[in-house]
Amino acid sequence: MSTLLISHPCFLDHLTPIGHPERPDRLRAIDRVLEHERFQALERETAAMGTVEAIARAHPMAHVDRLYKAAPEEGLVRLDADTTLSPGSWEAALRGAGAACQAVDEVVTRKVSNAFVASRPPGHHAEHERAMGFCLFNNAAIAARHAQAVHGIGRVAIVDFDVHHGNGTQDIFWADPSVMYCSTHQMPLYPGSGAASERGEADTIVNVPLSAGDDGAIFREAVETGILPRLEAFKPELIIISAGFDAHARDPLGGLNLVEADFGWITRVLMDVADQHAGGRVVSLLEGGYDLEGLARSTAAHVMTLMTG
């Protein structure tokens, strides 16, 4: 079987203010690198439109309605200091959620081995009832709920290696024993959450914070000692990756010193866990990554590892 890449031109139409790090050029950089002949074996699909029903499994309808009503016909609307809506944002958000569910469908039904979704805006800061941190809907949470509701998956693990803690994913699954959320991230850093003591009501929140300046060796040790034993004990039936590449040493928004080989390594490690417990089922969703060269190289390492697993 093959690796599936899902994207859509509308993801370029979510606009942000001039100088904003979460900009359309991020996807253009990914598109360019994944057009290389090394990636010709990728299966490629355009993102389906997400449904309100799927989104409402992770967010209340009041949140969905607020974003729909706030979306402008022209110009930009700020939801907070970091998070913006443009005329193209609503479709991008819907197709981001749709692509996450589409990836789950293809992977769980064994049409492909695994999948990577190249979409924007990202999702892991979007809490149950609040858009924030560049994020509108929490695509990883929507994908997990879709897997459970539509495909009968019991235990889902979401593993997040973005430099920023996924406060939104933690918020949504804080009291849910069926979803394990594991995160490495720099701390202190936006959004301020993610201490190791934050474990959730069912002890299924696993935070392994790193410090500014930490490199790949420290990152790998943190994963091996802090996350892998918990994943092995949880025995997930599906692994969803919140693939943020802003822990790269080049990234302007973080202070970690990972390189593309580190992202290839964590991808391989998570695939091994999936092979053991989840029938190899891995769905990866793009989160952060704001230096275009670091983002492109890291994405290439991540996707190549998915392809050669």
How many Å apart are CA 287 and CA 252, to the nearest integer? 15
pLDDT reported for residue 259: 98
pLDDT reported for residue 281: 98
pLDDT reported for residue 208: 98
Whether the per-residue pLDDT at 187 is higher than 80: the answer is yes
Whether the per-residue pLDDT at 26 is higher than 80: the answer is yes
Number of neighbouring beta carbons within 10 Å of residue 236: 26
Secondary structure (H, E, C), 130-148: CCECCECCCHHHHHHHHHH
How many Å apart are CA 297 and CA 28, to the nearest integer? 13
Which domains can be identified in the chain, with CATH numbers?
Answer: 3-308 (3.40.800.20)
SS3 42: coil
How many Å apart are CA 142 and CA 124, to the nearest integer? 11
Instruction: Report the candidate in 287, 193, 305, 198 with the shortest Cα–Cα distance to residue 247.
Output: 287
Whether the per-residue pLDDT at 1 is higher than 90: the answer is no
Q: Give the helix/strand (H/E) hosting 4.
A: strand 3-7
Cα–Cα distances in angstroms (integers) from residue 277 to residues 4, 109, 197, 233, 272, in the given order: 21, 16, 27, 10, 9
pLDDT reported for residue 223: 98
pLDDT reported for residue 21: 98
| Contact yes or no for 8/106 (Cβ under 8 A) | no
pLDDT reported for residue 94: 98
The backbone region for 19, taken as left when phi is positive above 0, alpha when psi lies in -120 to 50, beta otherwise, is left
What is the pLDDT of the chain when averaged over all its residues?
Answer: 98
User: What pLDDT, in 10s, does the model give residues 232-266?
Assistant: 999 999 999 999 999 999 999 999 999 999 999 99
Taking the CA atoms of 15, 19, 20 and 21 in sequence, report the sign of the dihedral they define.
positive
How many Å apart are CA 245 and CA 162, to the nearest integer? 6
Helices (H), the chain: 25-34, 52-55, 61-70, 89-108, 139-151, 167-172, 216-222, 228-234, 260-277, 292-308
pLDDT reported for residue 201: 98
Catalytic residue among 8, 14, 63, 125: 125
Pairing of β 77-78 and β 84-85 = antiparallel
Number of neighbouring beta carbons within 10 Å of residue 255: 16
Confidence of residue 275 (pLDDT cuts 50, 70, 90): very high
User: What pLDDT, in 10s, does the model give residues 188-224?
Assistant: 999 999 999 999 999 999 999 999 999 999 999 999 9
pLDDT reported for residue 309: 75
pLDDT reported for residue 66: 97
Cα–Cα distances in angstroms (integers) from residue 236 to residues 69, 150, 159, in the given order: 37, 17, 11
Which residues have C-beta within 8 Å of that of residue 242, sequence separation ≥ 6? 123, 124, 140, 158, 159, 160, 161, 162, 166, 169, 183, 285, 287
How many Å apart are CA 63 and CA 97, to the nearest integer? 14
Q: How many CA atoms lie within 13 A of 196 on its CB side?
A: 7
Averaged over 260-274, what is the pLDDT?
98
Share of the chain above pLDDT 70, in %: 100
For residues 12, 17, 23, 24, the Cα torsion angle rounded to the nearest 10 degrees is: 20
User: What pLDDT, in 10s, does the model give residues 129-168?
Assistant: 999 999 999 999 999 999 999 999 999 999 999 999 999 9
* Phi, psi torsion values for 117, nearest 5 degrees: -105, 115
pLDDT reported for residue 122: 98
Whether the per-residue pLDDT at 14 is higher than 80: the answer is yes
Active site residue 125: yes
Structure-block tokens of residue 137 = 């809907």
Instruction: Report the candidate in 167, 255, 188 with the shortest Cα–Cα distance to residue 219.
Output: 255
